[in-house]
Structure 1
Amino acid sequence: MTLILTRSVIRTLLADAVEDVEHAVARAHRELAVGQAKLPAPPAMRLRDEEGTGEGNAGADGAFLAMAAASAPDRLATVKLLADLPANRARGLPVQRSAVLAVDARTGACAALLDGAELTRIRTAAATAVATRALARPDARTLGLLGTGPLARAHVRALLPGRPYEHVLIWGRTPANAQALAGWVTSELGLPAKVFADPRSVTEHADVLCTLTPARDPFVHGPWLKPGQHINAVGAPPRPDHRELDTAAVLRCRIVVDAYETARAKSGEVLIPLAEGALGEEDFRTELGSVLTGEVPGRTADDELTLFNSVGVGLQDLAVARLLIDRAGERGLGLTVDLAG
């Protein structure tokens, strides 16, 4: 039988699972580092959308990424098909949509089909939390958020509980959305949150900075960074020509990636400086899993600038899929169908 989990059911199953998701994602990266999991770079299939309408969207290239992973400890192989369709903005539809197919690694039976939207947001924020715990200074007190969408709220839920932040600083392109996020942070978690008029002000004052926008062109610049900061570059789509940090900012940091092969194929954050000759491949070979296992150090000095370049990988989807399948079974949630019937 195959378990089908809709977005609403996934949201219910993950509502009280912040720590469990973080632990699952951390474990997945450790397993990758020691060879217990497999994670190929995702191939991208591009189609030109001849029906795209609206300024900046007509004829926009759609990309379809097959994000595969396999884990021996989790006994699963998964593939998430991610559709990244810029022309959807003009249609009033989400730019990114995805679904995850999970099969039993022992029998090959189709174990589950899961909507990808909520799963992706939660596992992305969990990966940021794992990286921040490993790389940020222990005395970090101010969290900066650049971006105000659903990914920002997921990051607040993942980063703030149980951590010693005292202030949250926010910037977004739409001031009303930034104010709404600030109000939500204060009401949900009781922390003061302040909205700034520009990304520079947030960047210059944050101990931990998260960039959470679907930017193509960089809006965080090297001279704004301060010694000892930790930056999570999260929001840019997995396209080699999109990035949130400029080359000068990346060069100031010690870089940790979620997975080297994926970053080498999809991350504008490192590929653009690489093409410019400003960065070498050895500069972004350190993977998060190697830090978590102690193979390489995390932060090496209080004044070091660290950057977690989060492209997002299929193994994170697999880890959360395993958690969801188990929780759904325990709680009797989801729909089961016989695909072979």
Structure 2
Amino acid sequence: MPLVLTRTDLTGLVAPADVVAVVEQAFADLADGTAAQAPLSVAAVDDDVHFLPMTAVSRRAGLGGSKLLADIPRNRDRGLPAQRSVLVLSDADDGAPVAILDGGLPTRLRTAAASAVATRWLAPDDARVLGLVGAGGLALEHVSAIAAVRPLEQVLFWTRSDGTAAAFVEQVAARHPELKAARVDTSAAAVGAADVVATLTPSREPVVLGEWFHPGLHVNVVGAPPRPDHREVDGEAMRRSRIVVDSVATALHESGDALLAIAEGAVTADDCRLELGDVVTGRAAGRRSADEVTLFDSVGLGLLDVAIGRLLVDAARAAGRGLAVDLSA
């Protein structure tokens, strides 16, 4: 019978390194054609509420799945998350329902893992300092995932919120006592002193500028919602970088970081056509020189939800977690 898995059921089930491994394989499968990703579409009756079904199928996972993402910025005024989601998984052969999962934790885990895969292939091998612009829900998972692929020694982070800063320092100390997490005064400081950067804000306007980039830097652009008018980095950041995307179709449809830079003439659409899966499979080079600046533009793929869904469902069954429900009764 299919499992219903709550956020509590899913917490602590899998190790970051295992999530990174399945996400990396999912990128390779997409490049190899053994997984398929449906075009990203948006259902909306106004600009305040967007519903995005993110659908994919994976032969390796033996699953088809769809995550329904609700992007509702005004939820913040209600004290609610701006994004909520639920993930539905079905058997790839006969369509039988396999599981229904709260989408929040899988989203955080796979988003951080995607950044870690990009970091593994694009960042300097000796990267030691991680810079975070934003310290909210995605931040701790990024520390854990990137620490799985690089020997991190320090985390520098910028946030406007004193409460968020205090909570993040406490979380890092609890999970990674070997790492020092230090708050900096500006986002420029978080970028300037880092080897690897992740932008983790739901910003509509740039919070990171290309003029701050230094030779050898790798940047994961992660936080902005999949809306073509939202961005975290400016056109100069895109122009100064070798751009790698999770999916060309997704980036050129929903990534404001890419689309606004193209509209400004900072880059062209052709500059945004290198997919991470092609790097992972060796069809394209990873980091090409010590001084190269690389940027991973991450919008989010339903395939990654399916891949981590397989990992989580198997772990939940092994641990005896979740509620088995006969949906056909």
Deviation of the 1:184 alpha carbon: 3.4
Q: TM-score of the superposition, structure 1-length normalised?
A: 0.93
Which of 36, 40, 47 is matched with 1:38 structurally? 36
8 A Cα contact 1:179 1:195, kept in partner: no
Letter paired with 1:113: I
1:159 and 2:146 aligned = yes
8 A Cα contact 1:40 1:261, kept in partner: no
Which of 305, 314, 324 is matched with 1:326 structurally? 314
8 A Cα contact 1:264 1:271, kept in partner: yes
8 A Cα contact 1:183 1:193, kept in partner: no
Partner of 1:195: 183
Letter paired with 2:301: V
Which of 291, 296, 310 is matched with 2:298 structurally? 310
Partner of 1:130: 117
Partner of 2:193: 205
Partner of 1:51: none
Task: Name segments (4+ residues, structure 1) moved above 3 Å.
Answer: none
Which of 92, 100, 109 is matched with 2:79 structurally? 92
Deviation of the 1:185 alpha carbon: 2.4
Matches within 5 A, 1:168-187: 168-187=155-174
Letter paired with 2:38: P
Q: Deviations over 1:55-103 (max 9, x none)?
A: xxxxx52100010001112111101000001121121111100001111
Task: Percent identity, please.
Answer: 49
8 A Cα contact 1:125 1:154, kept in partner: yes
Q: TM-score of the superposition, structure 2-length normalised?
A: 0.96
Unpaired stretches in structure 2, ≥5 consecutive residues: none
Aligned-partner Cα distance in 2 for 1:176–1:203: 22
- Using the TM superposition, name which of 82-91 and 26-35 deviates more: 82-91
Deviation of the 1:186 alpha carbon: 3.7
Letter paired with 1:67: M
Letter paired with 2:116: A
SS of equivalent residue, structure 1 residue 150:
coil
SS of equivalent residue, structure 1 residue 155:
helix
Deviation of the 1:161 alpha carbon: 4.5
Matches within 5 A, 1:1-341: 1-14=1-14, 17-48=15-46, 61-161=48-148, 163-189=150-176, 190-341=178-329
8 A Cα contact 1:240 1:268, kept in partner: yes
Deviation of the 1:163 alpha carbon: 3.1
Aligned-partner Cα distance in 1 for 2:165–2:315: 34
8 A Cα contact 1:41 1:265, kept in partner: no
Aligned-partner Cα distance in 2 for 1:337–1:270: 43
Aligned-partner Cα distance in 2 for 1:82–1:308: 22
- Could you say what the CA RMSD is over the residues aligned between the two structures, in angstroms? 1.3
Aligned-partner Cα distance in 2 for 1:322–1:126: 15
SS of equivalent residue, structure 1 residue 12:
coil
Letter paired with 2:28: R
Q: Deviations over 1:36-55 (max 9, x none)?
A: 0001221101133xxxxxxx
- Give the count of matched residue pairs: 328
Q: Deviations over 1:282-304 (max 9, x none)?
A: 11111111000000000111000
Change (3 A) 1:113 1:280: same
Unpaired stretches in structure 1, ≥5 consecutive residues: 49-59
8 A Cα contact 2:156 2:183, kept in partner: yes
Aligned-partner Cα distance in 1 for 2:169–2:316: 33
Change (3 A) 1:7 1:180: closer
Letter paired with 2:153: E
SS of equivalent residue, structure 2 residue 143:
helix
Letter paired with 1:333: R
Aligned-partner Cα distance in 1 for 2:29–2:148: 26
